[in-house]
Amino acid sequence: MNGSVACMELMQRMTTEQKVAQLIMPAFRQYTDSQGKRQDVVRMYPEMERILSSYPFAGVMLFAMNLKTTRAGVELVRAIRACSAKCPDLPGLLLAADQEGGSVTRLGQGTQTPGNMALGAGGDPVLTRNCAAVIGRELKAAGLDANAGPVLDVNDNPLNPVIGIRSFSDNPELVATMGRAYLEGLGESGVIGMLKHFPGHGNTAVDSHTGLPCVEKTLEELERVELKPFAACVRAGAEMVMTAHIQFPQVEKQTYRSKKTGEPVVLPATLSRAVLGGLLRDRLGFEGVVITDSMGMDAISSHFDPLDAAKLAIEAGADILLMPVDTAAPGGVKRLEDYVRRVAKAVEQGVIRPKAVEQAVLRVLALKERHGLLRAGEIPAPDVSVAQKQIGSAENRKTEWEAALRAVTLVRDKGVLPLSPREQTVVSVPFESEVHSVRFALDRLDLLGDGPEIVCPAEKGDWEKMLRAPVLLAVSACYRVNSLLTDGAKDPYVERLRQILADRKKQGKVSVVISAQLPYDLALYPDADALLAAYCAKGMSEDPRFASNGVVQYNANLPAAVFSVFRSPCRFSGRLPLSVPSLESLSGGSRENLFDRGFGLDGESTCKRKNQTGR
């Protein structure tokens, strides 16, 4: 993947500052004006225009506040491209976003797709590839070139606070299979995938956004689990890899004196030559572009001087420094310009090896050459009308719905499914946005007129309805396992629901629970007659039937689960993509699973029994 003669000649014409800029990908999520007012960046501001016209950055990372609507997002992309094109013979920008699917999406009116854990539950690589192709087509229509995905983290630590349903599974083989299919789907659409977070963020109990995680695994242990998906996708031709701000002291021994604590800290993977050079480049044979995770995250910014972090990352083998400066803060754009100059000065003085900079620049230019981004003046701008037809289209949402239905996993049914629309049923959800999700499902079942009553318990009357209803369908959403275990952090909705289920069981009333987010909360509801998992609790900002702009972003997972509960005959094809420990095991009291990975009921046998007995 070395650069061509054209890349070499282009680099030789670049100044040191231009080379350094080619290794930086900023973001412009928000802008603080001279009065101190912070606003979301949905249009070009003069300072942004000046810096984007002056420096050939590696690219720009776009976020949800930039892409609220398709029209606004495309117009911003066009403005960014126009700034870059003022220097037509310099490299163009690589525009990217975190459109992982499920809980992490950026296109405000785009198709979310069910997310990685749901795709892992569905177990179909073809469907995973199709969902990734949807993501790719929509990003491409918006004028973007790369997606920060697939997530290849193996979520084998239930206490992980940041990965969770963003992971396909706790099984490295399944993560590798689905990750490769995802990468292929993006590639079909002409979008570059970024494997993340190398060498793996799945076995941490600390979020690198807010702390510096440490994984005490040997190289052999990493090769058995964390590295398998990355190795598979590198062999499949991956062009970009994103690093993790995580310490691996069994691999990297070098330390740095933390500016926060004054104590030595082991260099995290992002700054580690042993990890990026030794593991990724040498052992896995990766020759493409290495991009860091955001350099503004606490794991880096709290412990490392910004210039030292740049030197360590570049000399370790990183090619693009993602968001090293907070441009949203007052004077942020000016500080970005100062940062470029400071790093360039360090290169000219030999503090940062010029050879390392040039090698990184050539890798970035080679990537851009392969994707038609080598000359800023030759990159076509996206078309608003084309984007509006593609993004959130009926065809794309059909793929999303199919994947969401396939993911719904039934792990318990005492012969109560499918629920009958003729019975008095109360559907309980913890968040108001999920009311729209339930209505959407009931509409698809033609049950809105005389179907179940939907409540979002906030008053005593709602709790009483849940207790007295002949049939209860309740939605539970676990975002962190700590909320299931720590008294001070326990969710009051979950605690009240557990008591209501116990009381209903004594009364012989039917209760069904949908685990809408992390499936670990399945362990909380022994008194439910049926248990299902949906893998993403994201609701809807408005009912799609009455969307004011004709297209609205919504997540299909919860609607698909509600739809499946009432659908007759009942069919379920999802299988747990990870093991669900018992509550005692989550608390550290034992090592037993309540449900093993791969478990799931098809629903047909209980459905037949119910039809024969009439319950």
Q: Which residues are catalytic?
A: 209, 293
State both tokens at 528: 């439910």
Q: How many residues does the chain have?
A: 615
Peptide bond preceding 569 in cis form (omega within 30 of 0): yes
Hey, which residues does 580 pair with through a beta bridge?
A: 595
State the DSSP H helix or E strand holding residue 246, giving kind and residue range, or none if neither: none
Sign of dihedral through CA atoms 535, 539, 540, 541? negative
Q: What is the DSSP string of 551-603?
A: ---B--HHHHHHHHHH-SS-------SS-EE-HHHHTTS---EEE-TT--B-S
Instruction: Give the separation between CA 518 and CA 159, rounded to whole angstroms.
Output: 11
Structure tokens at 348: 């000219």
Pairing outcome for strands 409-413 and 530-533: antiparallel
Provide φ and ψ at 264, rounded to 5°.
-65, 135
How many C-alpha atoms does 494 have within 13 Å on its Cβ side?
25
What are the tokens at 347?
């290169």
Rounded CA separation 111/138 (Å): 8
Residue 101 Rama label (left phi>0; alpha psi -120 to 50; beta): left
Instruction: Give per-residue burial for 231-244: e unless 16+ CB within 10 Å, then b.
Output: bbbbebebbbbbbb
Cβ neighbours of residue 520 closer than 8 Å, sequence gap 6 or more: 158, 478, 481, 484, 580, 581, 586
Q: At 601, phi and psi to the nearest 5?
A: -95, 145
Q: What tokens appear for 595 in the block?
A: 């449900």
Which residue, 482, 493, 517, is CA-closest to 429?
493
Instruction: Give the span between the Cα atoms of 371 and 140, in whole angstroms.
Output: 12
Q: Which helix (H) or strand (E) holds 510?
A: strand 510-515
**Residues 103 and 115: beta-carbon distance below 8 Å:** yes
What CA–CA distance (Å, rounded) separates 167 from 204? 13
CB atoms within 10 A of CB 108: 20
Cβ atoms of 193 and 232 within 8 Å: the answer is no
CA distance 426 to 469: 6
| Partners of 243 in beta bridges | 198
Place of tokens 């009291």: 589
What are the angstrom distances between the C-alpha of 104 and each of 140, 142, 166, 423? 18, 17, 8, 37
User: Can you give 322-378 as a three-state secondary structure string?
Assistant: ECCCCCCCCCHHHHHHHHHHHHHHHHHCCCCCHHHHHHHHHHHHHHHHHCCCCCHHH
Q: What are the φ/ψ torsions at residue 348 (nearest 5 degrees)?
A: -65, -30
